[in-house]
Chains A and B, each alone.
Chain A
């Protein structure tokens, strides 16, 4: 380890590794710190991504692909289901290997990586300007100076707060999640299953994602407003007992997903936020791997440019580029999420019925969406915005 760096990245998830990789590729000296002893573990994720999303950053490799999926199945509260056609394909990842590979790509660009390194505060000068981080590395307190801090510290992010950004997620927008990886079950390997309704996950959804032969990630997320009444783990246990009573439980994990708009500010006081820490999550799907990596890439590039230019005020460019690339889209998706969450079980059932009446070639996610629109015309304007640009 050096005594100082241009950029320190806090957190070695997909967003952190991608930020580190692009910052180093842009010529900066970069250190990436991970609080856990391992990159990629524990996995707190449903692990599904689209092929188009992932190839922007890494070539698909069988060693981190647990299943290749070609279909969605949306299951209505009454048990009827519709299987929309998909244009592309998707993958269910082995995140513990995937995250390793992303960190290795960063290392190839010259990034130094240290695990079991917990950042507990920011280093500030007498004027309150951030000039580094304070870490507990393998139980030893160390201060490391740097010019820019990239906060990729996940849903539990505190680095942004220390820089003066309010990153607290409203309880309405935080999805409280529980997931079990279960085995010994019969599960189709090419379908992503989504269950909706008040019995499984009011206002949210429950997923069954294939994870290789006889194995699946079964999890759910629901808004903390709902979780207040009944917790994620209770919903999950009930579903698994009913649907997969004899399954072997290989892992069971908790998690939180900030299904919100991007934080109002993602740049402040020489600190930039990327990934879950910045709330760079698709609010409808809760997916944050690819969008976090896109945030990481833009953040890493802009940080390197700021170092080269010797002008840290350049960091504000990150906010602009993110907003133009995905931020605006997430704002639209947020409004759609609000509408979907308000659907009653009856509405969801009738959407499914309308979708089943569509001829097969029109049974796409878009087609189902149009069916949904009949039930919720106010969504129309929001949806139009997504497709117009």
Chain B
């Protein structure tokens, strides 16, 4: 099912890169490196399991979708990073 836009946002500066979210993601939609993390937009179904799993509450769910990409530069880098690998 097509979805309008990404609703899951990982606040990059706050993440501990622990991988708990990746472990519960049923869609293999999170790319995690040593200190980089990103949601792979095409796979994410906005199920929110990652939001619930995050021990530090750094994953946000935006009901209206993320229309403007996050301002943080690292978030943009991370999104590009996730795409560059596949």
Contact = CB atoms under 8 A, between A and B. Distances in A.
A36 B19 contact: no
A275 interface: no
Given A116-B34, A158-B28, A161-B28, A231 B22 contact: no
Given A35-B34, A121-B85, A224-B53, A255 B26 contact: no
Nearest to A175: B20
Size class of the contact patch on chain B: 20 to 34
B55 A178 contact: yes
12 contacts: A120-B31, A154-B19, A157-B23, A162-B28, A174-B53, A227-B53, A233-B56, A233-B57, A254-B55, A255-B18, A255-B19, A256-B24
A232 interface: yes
B18 A44 contact: yes
A161 to B, nearest CB: 5
Which secondary structure dominates chain B's binding surface?
loop
B85 A136 contact: yes
A258 interface: yes
Given A176-B55, A254-B16, 19 more contacts: A118-B33, A121-B85, A154-B19, A155-B19, A155-B23, A156-B19, A157-B23, A168-B23, A171-B24, A174-B20, A174-B53, A177-B55, A224-B52, A224-B53, A228-B52, A231-B54, A231-B57, A233-B56, A253-B16
Size class of the contact patch on chain A: 35 or more
A37 B55 CA distance: 23
Contacts of B16: 253-254
B32 interface: yes
Interface string B27-59: 010011110000000000000010011111100
A232 B86 CA distance: 33
Interface of A: 35-37, 44, 116, 118, 120-121, 136, 154-158, 161-162, 168-171, 174, 176-178, 224, 227-228, 231-234, 253-256, 258
A176 B85 contact: no
B25 interface: yes
B64 to A, nearest CB: 21
A171 B31 CA distance: 19
Nearest to A34: B34
B55 A256 contact: yes
A136 B34 CA distance: 11
Given A155-B19, A255-B20, A256-B19, A168 B55 contact: no
Contacts of B20: 155-156, 174, 176-177, 254-256
Nearest to B37: A156
Nearest to A38: B34
A17 B21 CA distance: 24
B23 A258 contact: yes
A231 B22 CA distance: 17
A93 B16 CA distance: 22
Contacts of B22: 155-158
Contacts of B55: 176-178, 227, 231-233, 254-256
Closest 8 CB pairs of A and B: A156-B19, A256-B20, A156-B22, A232-B55, A254-B18, A254-B55, A254-B16, A228-B52
A178 B25 contact: no
Contacts of B34: 35-37, 116, 118
A44 B54 CA distance: 14
Contact of B23 (A36, A136, A174): A174
Contacts of B53: 171, 174, 176, 224, 227, 256
A256 B57 contact: no
A170 B23 CA distance: 9
